[in-house]
Structure 1
Amino acid sequence: MAILSTPASTVRLASQGRPLKEHLFRVALLSSLAVAMIFLAVLLVYVVSQGYHRLDLNLLQNFPSLRTANAETAGVLSGIMGTLWVVALTAIMALPTGVLAAVYLEEYADKSKWYNRLLELNIANLAAVPSIVYGILGLGVISRGFGLGPSVITGAITLSLLVLPIVIIAAREAIKAVPPSIREGSLALGATQWQTIWRQVLPASVPGIATGSILALSRAIGEAAPFLLLGAATLVRFNPDGLNSSFSVLPVQIYNLITNSRPEIQIIGAAAIVVLLAILLLMNSVAIWLRNRYQKRW
Structure 2
Amino acid sequence: MEAWPVYLLTGSVVGFIAGLLGIGGGLLMVPILAATFISLDFPADRIVHIALGTTTAIITLTAISSLRAHHARGAVNWPVVRYMTPGIIAGALIGSTLAGQLSNRVLGVIFVLFIYSAATQMWLNLKPGADYALPGKVGLLTAGGVIGAISSLVAIGGGLLTVPFLSACQVRMHHAIGTAAAVGFPVALASAAGYAVNGLLQTQPLPDYSLGYIYLPALMMVAMTSTVTAPWGAKTAHILPAVALRKIFAGLLYLLGTKLLLDFLG
TM-score grouping bracket, smaller chain normalisation: under 0.3
Greater C-alpha Rg: 1
Higher relative contact order (CA 8 A, sep 6+): 2
TM-score, normalised to structure 1, is: 0.26
